[in-house]
Amino acid sequence: MANVLHIVVCAGIVPDPLQTLEPVTTPAGPGLKNEMVLPAVLDPWAACALYEAAHLAAGNPGSKVWLVSLGPKAKLQQVMMTVAQKVNFELVPIDGPIGGFTDAHATAAVLAETIAALPGLERDRLLLFGGWESATRGSGVTLQLVGERLGITDQFQGVDQIALRDDGSFEVLERVEGGKHQASVCGGTPAVLGWATGNLAEPRNNPQVGMANMRTMMPALQKAKPATLAANGLRYASVSLPKQQRTTRVVKDMTADAIASELAEWIGAE
């Protein structure tokens, strides 16, 4: 029973990336045009973390997976109807704003407070999973801030693999430059792992898993606590779509340094 794990996955919901996303300025600040009617999906990076968590828990009997998700309750219910059929987990919903214009510190504060209050969670068995990046709150610091607020200092980002050992320690493979991995050994839990894409394919839909999850998911959604994210002084002067510009030249025998210099000059002129 040395490897019984309590895995908490932080996963937001995001507009389907196949949709056209048009930023607009609203009375409450920057947002997306018709955001509440856009189809939503589980954040792709966080989804990889969830699949890895479920696979790890299945291989270690007695382990448990919680999915902590911040978003509008109606949207959470829509997305979870699909996600619930993939893997086993207990949903912990937080009824709050969606979008990429929220402050990472405020988001981390709400998530950390919710995780700390989870009944039955044992800190000495905790693995905190999430996406290394995000399709919405892509500041790259939210998961790290959650870990810091929970007092977890062993943190790994860009993770593609975790291998548990019999003594409770584990080896982690993190992405580094040049298509290589850095191998690290951690003495044991608790730890924070920000996942890249991992090694697992998306699980098939399983109606039986979905029915089992829905027994606890619907009551949890009905009891979802509302959360307000403070701006913390964060302001946006303007939001707009990137300019579309294409200028093509075919040049032979140009060095990498010359290409980089020209690109930097072009970007700086924008």
The reply to whether 250 falls in a domain is: no
Can you name the residues that pair with 68 across neighbouring β-strands?
Answer: 10, 92
Residue 165 CB contacts under 8 Å (≥ 6 apart), including other chains: 171
- How many CA atoms does the CB half-sphere of 21 hold within 13 Å? 18
| DSSP state letter for 247 | -
Task: Provide the token pair at 12.
Answer: 């937001």
* Alpha helices, DSSP H, located in the chain: 44-58, 73-83, 104-116, 142-149, 207-222, 256-268
Say what the pLDDT of residue 36 is: 72
Residue 259 CB contacts under 8 Å (≥ 6 apart), including other chains: none
Domain count across the chain: 1
Q: Which residues of the chain have pLDDT under 50?
A: 1
The reply to whether 232 falls in a domain is: no
Instruction: Tell me the C-alpha distance between 212 and 157, whole Å.
Output: 32
Instruction: Tell me the C-alpha distance between 95 and 222, whole Å.
Output: 10
The reply to whether 134 falls in a domain is: yes
> pLDDT digit string (tens) for 180-200?
888 999 988 899 998 888 888
SS3 for 106? helix
The reply to whether 243 falls in a domain is: no
pTM (predicted TM-score): 0.80
Asked if 136 and 103 count as a contact pair (C-beta separation under 8 A), the reply is: no
The reply to whether 102 falls in a domain is: yes
Task: Provide the token pair at 219.
Answer: 């009551």
SS3 for 43? coil
- Residue 179 burial (CB < 10 Å; 0-12/13-18/19+)? exposed
Handedness of CA 32, 36, 37, 43 (dihedral sign): positive
Residue 245 CB contacts under 8 Å (≥ 6 apart), including other chains: none
Residue 190 belongs to domain spanning: 6-226
Say what the pLDDT of residue 234 is: 63
Phi-psi region of 178 (alpha: psi -120 to 50; beta: other; left: phi over 0): left
Say what the pLDDT of residue 263 is: 85
Asked if 139 and 232 count as a contact pair (C-beta separation under 8 A), the reply is: no
> pLDDT digit string (tens) for 6-24?
999 998 888 777 777 767 7
The reply to whether 249 falls in a domain is: no
The reply to whether 231 falls in a domain is: no
Instruction: Tell me the C-alpha distance between 144 and 139, whole Å.
Output: 10
Instruction: Tell me the C-alpha distance between 106 and 85, whole Å.
Output: 31
The reply to whether 143 falls in a domain is: yes
Residue 42 CB contacts under 8 Å (≥ 6 apart), including other chains: 11, 12, 13, 14, 50, 69, 79, 83
CATH of the domain at 189: 3.40.50.620
